[in-house]
Amino acid sequence: MERLSKPAIRSALFVAVFLALCWSQSLRAQQDGVYTVAPGDTLGAIAVRFGVTVEALVAANGIEDPNRIRVGQVLLIPGADGSVSAPETVTGIPTAVVRAQAGDDIAVLAARYGEDPALIAELNATTTTHRLFPGQPVLVPTRAAPPPRLNFGAILTIDAPDSIVQGRTGRLYVTTSRPVALFGRLSDQPLHFNILDAQGLVQFAFVPVNALQEPGVYTLEVGYTTARGVDLKRTFPVNVVAGPYGYQEIVVTQEKADVLTSDVVAAERERVVAVWSQYTPFLLWRERFRRPISADYPTTSPFGQRRTYSVADIGNFHAGQDFGAPEGALIFAPAPGIVVLAEPLAVRGNAVILDHGGGVFTGYWHMSEIKVAPGMRVETGDVLGLVGNTGLSTGSHLHWELRIDGVAVDPMQFLEEPPFEMAE
């Protein structure tokens, strides 16, 4: 047998140690979802080693340049679904991964999350005085963990709705480490973000769902464009659930039918769409809406009912909430806004539209009299007009409509819920 030279032996030993180190790192990553970059590593090679994509590693770790990773850098290894998880430990306690801050030791970190230092030390197989380096992954009980930090570039957390009922509005909350211009969309519907704090680090977006959207799972996309012009984004599944909507047939008198030609209907639709397609990049209100008419007047036709009309192509569902009321009853602004339309229309009768900012508009149809003019700012409770029976109407009532980014949604939800929730 040919004897190996000393250089060959050293080379073989080096390869064996390197492979053992890689195996050890791989095992550790599989166990706690992290990996420390070793000499010679590339992001592509790490992705292959753990059976994930480069894109998943980039998103999980907020890497802006995939070609620049450093030796000693700790990477979170996402699962097949893009999530980063930590298994139950020998203590049987479900855990989550958090990142240490500068100056942390186990005791300091435990105090931050209101946990027993001995428990945190046991979860991480170390001592209560063990020093941690900034960014080091540390296991804590799930109950103590804040909303998961995504390490997704400047985006720290995303709180997205799991499901939304047809015709209802979801809310999407994003926190960032610095002010960034976020973008988002649900399927093909663009979303607009509104800033909630003085620093510009907390943003939210309404997620409106059309009342006729087919039930099923849709993709919600959230992200921003880096200074290098790269789009960093993530997607989340959102389940659209069927709404509890009935059916209604509307019979219109021949007198009104004679003026509702297809050209008139199309021209009016174009007019109102142009109005509520504008965008004011800030909210003019922060409290839940007030009822636009006295509680003495009940709902006569709820939002979302599937409809057919005896004349004209008006629409196939009820895009607002109807309140039966006598002619002359007062109609009030439900929240602060700017009057952007106040004029008679063929289908909607005497109509008013308010811009509440952030892509949110409310409409008031069939008035007997309009009490405001375009350009006026109104406050909650200001009188907009009087109930009537003008336009395509079969009796005296108020039709109240709410549109978000042009999508008609149930306005009654905004009487029940504030526009957004702020952390205490």
The pLDDT tens digits along the chain (424 residues) read: 455 565 555 555 544 444 444 444 444 443 345 677 887 788 877 877 777 777 777 776 767 677 778 776 777 777 533 444 443 444 566 777 776 766 678 887 787 777 888 888 888 778 888 887 766 777 888 665 555 555 578 888 898 988 899 999 999 999 998 999 999 999 989 999 999 888 889 999 999 999 999 999 999 999 999 888 888 888 888 999 988 887 776 666 666 666 667 788 889 999 999 999 999 998 999 999 999 999 999 999 899 887 665 555 555 788 999 999 999 999 999 999 999 999 999 989 999 999 999 999 999 999 999 999 999 999 999 999 999 999 988 899 999 999 999 999 999 999 998 888 754 4
Determine the Cα–Cα distance for residues 95 and 98; give it in Å rounded to an integer: 10
Query: What is the set of domains in the chain, with CATH numbers?
Result: 1-80 (3.10.350.10), 86-148 (3.10.350.10), 155-241 (2.60.40.10), 247-416 (2.70.70.10)
pLDDT on residue 110 = 80
Determine the Cα–Cα distance for residues 30 and 46; give it in Å rounded to an integer: 12
Q: Which residues of 96-126 are buried (b: 16+ CB within 10 A; e: fewer)?
A: bbbbbeeebbbbbbbeebebebebbbbbbee
How many CB atoms sit inside 10 A of residue 91's CB? 12
Q: Contact 187/239 with Cβ under 8 angstroms?
A: no
Contacts of 279 (CB under 8 A, 6+ apart): 192, 359, 405
In terms of DSSP bridges, do strands 34-36 and 74-76 run parallel, antiparallel, or are they unpaired? antiparallel
3-class DSSP state of 263: helix
Can you point out the beta strands (E) in 275-418? Answer: 299-301, 306-309, 320-324, 330-332, 337-345, 349-357, 360-367, 369-370, 377-378, 383-386, 397-404, 407-409
pLDDT on residue 75 = 75
3-class DSSP state of 55: helix
Residue 51: name the closest of 70, 69, 30, 32 by CA. Answer: 30
- DSSP-H helix ranges across 62-129: 106-112, 117-123
3-class DSSP state of 8: helix
Determine the Cα–Cα distance for residues 177 and 199; give it in Å rounded to an integer: 10
| Phi, psi values for residue 114, rounded to 5° | 65, 35
